[in-house]
Amino acid sequence: MESPAYGNTNSTGLSPNPAEGAVNRASSTAHAAVDSFANAADEATRKAKPKIDKVAAIAHQAVDKAAGAAEQTAQRITERGESLSAAQRKLVADTCSYVSAHPLKSVGIAVLAGFLLSRIVL
């Protein structure tokens, strides 16, 4: 990495007084340290990139597995819901047929059920 010139120097590259030269040297040293750190960080990033990519791939696989499991569960729930809905329709149709075929018996059963429920609740 190319290090740009930092600090205040005149056109000859010499500082006009010793204090300013010390500041420029300290500044240059600090900038060199920052550049060195940046280079080390770049190197660490290059070394870590394959590991980061591997972890990301594993995370993507986990998300895909979870999505697949959720999709299967949703399909099962949908199928179960359709099955229960069909069973409900059949039960209602059978009940309607029974009440039509046996009206007095149905009224007697309803009265008895109401009486028993009132005793249980109260």
Given a cut of 70, whether residue 117 has pLDDT beyond it is yes
Given a cut of 90, whether residue 114 has pLDDT beyond it is yes
Q: Is residue 80 part of a domain?
A: yes
Region 34-38: mean pLDDT is 82
How high is the pLDDT of residue 119? 92
The most confident of the ranges 2-6, 16-20, 32-36 is 32-36
Question: Whole-prediction pTM value?
Answer: 0.45
Q: How confident is the model at residue 16 (pLDDT cuts 50, 70, 90)?
A: low
Number of domains within the chain:
1
Q: Is residue 54 part of a domain?
A: yes
Q: Is residue 36 part of a domain?
A: no
Q: Is residue 53 part of a domain?
A: yes
Q: Is residue 73 part of a domain?
A: yes
Lowest mean pLDDT among 41-45, 72-76, 93-97: 41-45
Please indicate whether residue 45 or residue 69 has the higher confidence score (pLDDT). Answer: 69
CA-nearest of 36, 32, 22 to 8 is: 22
Side-chain half-sphere exposure of 84, counting CA atoms within 13 A: 6
Extract the tokens encoding 86: 């069909």
Given a cut of 90, whether residue 116 has pLDDT beyond it is yes
Q: Is residue 28 part of a domain?
A: no
Question: Residue 99's domain spans which residues?
Answer: 48-121
How high is the pLDDT of residue 36? 84
Question: Do 27 and 7 form a contact (C-beta atoms < 8 A)?
Answer: yes
